[in-house]
Amino acid sequence: MALSHTCDGCGATLGAREDLHRESTPTGRSWYCGYCRMPIPDSIGERLSHRRDGSPTDRR
């Protein structure tokens, strides 16, 4: 199933880990658009981070 998130800031389609920017914070992790650094909801970032090149082999 295709999973992607359209950035509210620049309109980019974020569909893989490589499209995201991650920062570690004292409370966990925060996700941002890799292009404009617009914050992305945690649940979206976590799901996208589990995708690698669309490979279906390591999903739960």
Residue numbers of the site for Zn ion (CB under 5 A)?
7, 9-10, 12, 33, 35-36, 38
Q: How far is the CB of 37 from Zn ion (least distance, A)?
A: 7
Q: Which is nearer to Zn ion, 3 or 10 (CB)?
A: 10
- Residue 50's identity, in one-letter code, is H
Q: What does the alpha-carbon distance between residue 11 and residue 60 come to, in Å, rounded to a whole number?
A: 30
Q: How far is the CB of 9 from Zn ion (least distance, A)?
A: 4
Are the C-beta atoms of 59 and 15 separated by less than 8 Å? Answer: no
Q: What does the alpha-carbon distance between residue 19 and residue 34 come to, in Å, rounded to a whole number?
A: 5
Q: Which is nearer to Zn ion, 13 or 43 (CB)?
A: 13
